[in-house]
Amino acid sequence: MKRVLHDVFFTRARALGYTARSAFKLEEIQKKHRIISRGASVLDLGCCPGSWLQVACQALGNSGGCVVGIDIQPTERPRQHCDSRVHILQGDVTKVSPALLSQHLPPEAGGQYGAILSDMAPSTTGAASRDALRSVALSRCAARLALNGRPPLLAPGGNMVVKVLEGEGFHEFVTDLRQFFVKVLRMRPHATRQESRELYVVCLGSKAAEQRPNQPFE
């Protein structure tokens, strides 16, 4: 059976001015776990086409905070649900330096983000095991970027959300994250396609340096 692309979430996204149906995934995670506080600084890794930028900007409230997005593809700031607090960079997340990303924070943020999001996905090959491993590798890259700087990009007490394809390497990734966060949960938002193996790892309360392992996140 041919996959139905224009489902209810696609239709709702267009009607509400979101750039993609993935907006509803972050919206559901935000409603359940409040990962983005009002006036927070938010980093969106792999931000194209911009739907998570839109949801994150709305979560900031009417004033304060910022959302910085980065993607390897050119990405324009969405016209709806975004304002001047949203800044977009073009670059490769696997190669970008934490110092560059911290440069775009307001002074009051102290060089750190309160929430870091990653909806990144690798190009799939059709081989389930290989695709899962590539997804975990990309998610680990996002986690290293968030957790390993001095200071880390993610502030103590901050939250992180990462998309991962369930499969080989997934459970080890979650186990490793639990050493760096107070709570780590798995979610499959309702807007996820039925045939998809993607899950979202929701990491709450980044631990302070003295509560973390001595070695960096790998």
Residue numbers annotated as active site: 163
Question: CA 31, 32, 33: angle at the middle one, nearest 5?
Answer: 100
Q: How many Cβ atoms from other residues are within 10 Å of residue 216's Cβ?
A: 13
